[in-house]
Amino acid sequence: MDFEKLTRVMRKLALQAGDKIMEIYNADDFEVKTKSDDSPVTAADEAADALISAGLRAEFPDVLLVTEEQAESHKESAATFLIVDPLDGTKEFINRRGDFTVNIALVENGTPTRGVVYAPAKDRMFYTLADGTTVEEAAPFDVDTVGEVTPIRVSSPDNDALVVVASKSHRDQATEDYINKYSVKDSTSAGSSLKFCLVATGEADLYPRVGRTMEWDTAAGHAVLAGAGGAVVDFDTHAPLAYGKDGYANSFFIAYAPGVDLKKA
């Protein structure tokens, strides 16, 4: 894999998809449909998926592409694959809350190693460089010209005063019970894969997820966090969260800055 090329392509496609998403987001109205699993889907999901899929298949024709919006791809598997959630946080999009992201990642031997997370309504973009380290690029963004980039790094957490981030749409009693095992200075909510990015930048120390997610929801954020020195582990075993599983469904997990004294469930 040419990682320099991958970085350029992922960044460009994320920005182009973000532009398409924002066109629909800023319209007076848009249609919301329901998929077979009862989750919502919009024209923005579909348009972004078509754009990203075409771009990745043109540039990396020999690499398996798994994408949320193409159910047939969920039946395939490979040691190395690209995985896409063209619009993570559809509920945030529908409710016009802004916490939605474009997610593109590369998984190698069960681990997300490269990725981009772009939040077009928030003007924030995070991605891994060819060497696997993570940067945040400052807005305004230009598809063809890289702007100012800043290397990002996880916090050095204080276990007596942790900052926790949790899901905005899926924050339940089980999540609260787990968070209460820690000494928390501040707790915040965010949508989509932005939660991984807040840990990656040191804006939060810990993100527990007690609820269903799929690998396309997490792979890009996982790669971004790993490139900033963080980790994502299984909620029960604390083993590294693995990818390429049958059906691409995740176990519950914890994303965190090393130094956090992880608690058992």
Per the annotation, binding residues for substrate are 68, 87-90, 217
Helix %, strand %, coil % for the chain, to 5?
Answer: 30, 30, 40
Residues recorded for the chain: 265
Q: List, as residue ranges, the binding site.
A: 68, 85, 87-90, 217
For residues 224 and 220, give the distance between their C-alpha atoms in angstroms, rounded to a whole number: 6
Which 8-state DSSP code applies to residue 205?
S
Which 8-state DSSP code applies to residue 23?
H
Contacts of 117 (CB under 8 A, 6+ apart): 14, 101, 102, 103, 125, 126, 127, 193, 194, 196, 197, 220, 221, 224
Other CB atoms within 10 Å distance of the CB of residue 111: 17
Contact (Cβ atoms closer than 8 angstroms) between residue 218 and residue 253:
yes
Contacts of 148 (CB under 8 A, 6+ apart): 137, 138
Residue 172 has which token pair? Answer: 């339940």
Peptide bond into 157 cis (omega under 30): no
Contact (Cβ atoms closer than 8 angstroms) between residue 156 and residue 259:
yes
Q: List, as residue ranges, the binding site for Mg(2+).
A: 68, 85, 87-88, 217
User: SS3 of 230, please?
Assistant: coil
